[in-house]
């Protein structure tokens, strides 16, 4: 066996059985590694925040914080360091968690010396590979935050705490005056600032309910203002299957006449059980229903049949440059006519230019929304016309 020079890797060992860490520490030292041993996870965690280890080896069952908890805490700030869990009492649960939180290996005690050393050497190499890869990604500016579940969970928690609502004005086409505001969720957490990223994280973590509930509470609080404008609130298809939606609405029953719930056309409602009944019970609270993003996805008519909307929002992909495209112009015109015949109020969103605005006025849309009138903002910005 070749002798590995010193500095071949810095290893953190954690086990409440000191005899084990002492033996491993000696073994590692004779093979050129620098190993530090701790008998509890808390002290080990503190040390790991001071020094960069190449590999962390931890027992699973320990008093206070166990090895899986330690792994989770480490992943909150270090996505790369290989963590090896070892245990005398393997369980499916701990093995599953080990995988979920990105453990490199799950070893059974007692670990044969050769196998242990092989695993450690491979882990040190992987650590170096990860560091090089991350440096390259940072250099290229493409570090898209690949990571583990715990890192995503930690970011999501921060995002929930820093959740805030932006309000974008909606204008009455007839008068050019303010009609209402659409509530748009935003977060102060840099990695999850935009709603798409936030919703994607919530979906992956099974936390859509928590995110919607929080955003809804913040947005509905705005209705408490003694004003007469209408609030537009986006629903996720998941919300329709969540009793918390109705509960939250019923906390402010006297304000629901000023609320419009937007349901996107992008996702089919066919996957929502009893969507029609649910929409009906929402409507019974006094709020109105809008179909969002019309023309952006999904071509069927089932969302109309299921929702019987009060308002239809024409997607910005149709509105953008509509004054320059005969096809878009004709589409908007016929959509508006058909919807108004059916008794729906037509809102055009994503209006950015005066030319687009004038075209939509000519077509006869009822409501207008877009940067031309006002951008989403923390404050209730007065629209320009």
Q: Which residues bind ligand G (CB under 6 A)?
A: 168, 184, 234, 292-293, 316, 349-352, 370-371, 376
CB-based contact 310:345 (threshold 8 Å): yes
* Residue showing the smallest CB distance to ligand G in the complex: 370
Q: Which of 54, 97, 189, 262 is the binder for Mn ion (CB under 5 A)?
A: 262
The verdict on 234 binding Mn ion (CB under 5 A) reads yes
**Please, which residue, 102 or 370, has the CB nearer to Mn ion?**
370
What's the closest the beta carbon of residue 364 comes to ligand G, in angstroms?
20
Cβ count within 10 A of residue 142:
8
The verdict on 80 binding Mn ion (CB under 5 A) reads no
**Please, which residue, 38 or 229, has the CB nearer to ligand G?**
229
| Spatial separation of the C-alpha atoms in residues 191 and 30, rounded to whole Å | 43
**Please, which residue, 127 or 357, has the CB nearer to ligand G?**
357
**Please, which residue, 12 or 199, has the CB nearer to ligand G?**
199
What's the closest the beta carbon of residue 81 comes to ligand G, in angstroms?
37
The verdict on 292 binding Mn ion (CB under 5 A) reads yes
Please give the C-alpha separations between residue 198 and each of 102, 212, 269, 272, in angstroms, as whole numbers: 22, 11, 21, 21
| Spatial separation of the C-alpha atoms in residues 347 and 170, rounded to whole Å | 9
What's the closest the beta carbon of residue 61 comes to Mn ion, in angstroms?
49
352 contacts which partner out of Mn ion, ligand G, none, CB within 5 to 8 A by kind?
Answer: ligand G
> Smallest Cα–Cα separation from 57: which of 2, 100, 12?
12
What's the closest the beta carbon of residue 276 comes to ligand G, in angstroms?
22
Q: Is residue 58 within a helix (H) or strand (E), and if so which, with residue range?
A: strand 55-59
184 contacts which partner out of ligand G, Mn ion, none, CB within 5 to 8 A by kind?
Answer: ligand G
What's the closest the beta carbon of residue 217 comes to Mn ion, in angstroms?
18
Polymer length of the chain: 385
168 contacts which partner out of Mn ion, ligand G, none, CB within 5 to 8 A by kind?
Answer: ligand G
| Spatial separation of the C-alpha atoms in residues 163 and 165, rounded to whole Å | 7
| Spatial separation of the C-alpha atoms in residues 176 and 178, rounded to whole Å | 7
| Spatial separation of the C-alpha atoms in residues 116 and 134, rounded to whole Å | 27
| Spatial separation of the C-alpha atoms in residues 94 and 158, rounded to whole Å | 26
What's the closest the beta carbon of residue 372 comes to ligand G, in angstroms?
7
Residues that bind Mn ion (CB under 5 A): 234, 262, 292
């Amino acid at each position: 066996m070749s002798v590995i020079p010193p500095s071949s890797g810095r290893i953190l060992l954690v086990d409440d059985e000191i005899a084990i860490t002492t033996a491993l520490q000696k073994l590692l030292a004779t093979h050129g590694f620098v190993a530090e041993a701790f008998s509890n996870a808390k002290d080990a965690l503190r040390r790991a925040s001071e020094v960069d280890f190449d590999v962390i080896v931890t027992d699973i069952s320990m008093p206070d914080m166990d090895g899986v908890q330690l792994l989770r805490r480490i992943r909150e700030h270090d996505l790369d360091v290989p963590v090896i869990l070892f245990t005398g009492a393997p369980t499916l649960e701990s093995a599953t968690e080990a995988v979920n939180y990105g453990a490199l290996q799950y070893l059974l005690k007692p670990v044969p010396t050769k196998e242990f050393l092989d695993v450690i050497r491979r882990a040190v190499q992987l650590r170096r590979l990860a560091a090089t890869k991350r440096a390259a990604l940072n250099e290229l500016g493409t570090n898209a935050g690949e990571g583990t579940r715990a890192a995503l969970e930690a970011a999501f928690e921060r995002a929930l705490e820093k959740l805030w609502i932006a309000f974008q004005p909606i204008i009455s086409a007839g008068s050019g005056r303010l009609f209402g505001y659409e509530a748009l969720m935003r977060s102060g957490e840099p990695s999850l600032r935009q709603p798409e990223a936030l919703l994607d994280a919530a979906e992956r973590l099974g936390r859509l309910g928590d995110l919607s509930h929080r955003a809804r509470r913040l947005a509905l609080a705005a209705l408490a203002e003694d004003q007469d404008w209408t609030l537009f609130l986006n629903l996720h298809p998941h919300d329709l299957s969540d009793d918390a939606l109705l509960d939250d609405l019923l906390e402010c029953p006297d304000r629901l006449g000023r609320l419009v719930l937007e349901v996107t056309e992008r996702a089919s409602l066919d996957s929502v059980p009893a969507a029609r009944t649910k929409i009906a019970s929402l409507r019974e609270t006094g709020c109105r229903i809008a179909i969002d993003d019309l023309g952006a996805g999904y071509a069927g008519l089932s969302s109309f049949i299921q929702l019987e909307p009060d308002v239809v929002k024409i997607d910005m992909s149709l509105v953008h440059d509509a004054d320059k495209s005969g096809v878009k112009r004709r589409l908007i015109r016929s959509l508006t006519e058909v919807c108004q015949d059916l008794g729906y109020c037509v809102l055009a969103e994503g209006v950015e230019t005066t030319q687009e605005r004038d075209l939509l006025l000519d077509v006869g849309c009822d409501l207008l929304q877009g940067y031309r009138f006002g951008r989403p903002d923390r404050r209730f910005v007065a629209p320009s016309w």
